[in-house]
Amino acid sequence: AVSGTKNAGKTTQLTKLIPLLRQAGKRVAAIKHDYHGFDIDLPGTDSYRLRQAGALGVAIYSEGQFAVIQQQQNAVAEQMLGYFGDMDLVLLEGGKHTPYPKIEIVRRAISESPVCRADTLIGLCTDCPLFMEGVPTYALDDYDGMAKRVLELLNGG
pLDDT at position 57 is 85
* Distances from the Cα of 42 to the Cα of 37, 45, 63, 67, angstroms: 15, 6, 21, 13
Report pLDDT for 48.
84
Residue 3 has pLDDT above 80, yes or no: yes
Could you read off the pLDDT of 68-108 as tens digits, one per residue? 878 778 877 778 888 888 999 999 998 899 999 999 999 99
Mean of pLDDT over the chain: 89
Single pTM value for the model: 0.84
pLDDT tens readout for residues 16-28: 999 999 999 999 9
Three-state SS string over the chain comes to: CEEECCCCCHHHHHHHHHHHHHHCCCCEEEEECCCCCCCCCCCCCHHHHHHHCCCCEEEEECCCCEEEEECCCCCCCHHHHHHHCCCCEEEEECCCCCCCCEEEEECCCCCCCCCCCHHHEEEEEECCCCCECCECEECCCCHHHHHHHHHHHHCCC
pLDDT of residue 156: 85
Give the whole-number percent of the chain exceeding pLDDT 70: 96
Q: According to the model, what pLDDT value does residue 32 have?
A: 83
For the stretch 36-77, pLDDT in tens is 566 677 788 888 888 888 888 888 888 888 888 787 788 777
